[in-house]
Structure 1
Amino acid sequence: MTAEAKPFLQVVRGDPTAEEVAALVAVLTARAAAAAAARDGGGPARPSRWADRSRLVRGTAGRALRPSGPGAWRASALPG
Structure 2
Amino acid sequence: MSAEEPLFRVVRGVPTAEELAALVGAIIVRSRPVATATPTTASAWARSGRPASSGGWRSAGQPR
Q: TM-score range by the shorter chain?
A: 0.5 to 0.7
| TM-score w.r.t. length of structure 2 | 0.58
Which one of the candidate residues 36, 44, 51 is aligned to 2:37?
A: 44
* AA of the residue aligned to 1:32: S
Evaluate the alpha carbon distance shift between residue 28 and residue 57 of structure 1 in structure 2; reply closer, same or farther with a 3 A threshold. Answer: farther
1:23 is matched with 22
Larger gyration radius, structure 1 or structure 2: 1
TM-align CA RMSD: 3.1
Partner Cα separation in structure 1 for residue 39 and residue 60 of structure 2: 31
> Which fold has the larger relative contact order, with Cα–Cα distance below 8 Å and residues 6 or more apart in sequence?
1
Evaluate the alpha carbon distance shift between residue 49 and residue 13 of structure 1 in structure 2; reply closer, same or farther with a 3 A threshold. Answer: same
| TM-score w.r.t. length of structure 1 | 0.49
1:78 is matched with none
SS in 2 for 1:65: helix
- Consecutive unaligned residues of structure 1, counting only runs of 5 or more, are 76-80
* AA of the residue aligned to 1:28: I
> In percent, how many aligned pairs have the same letter?
27
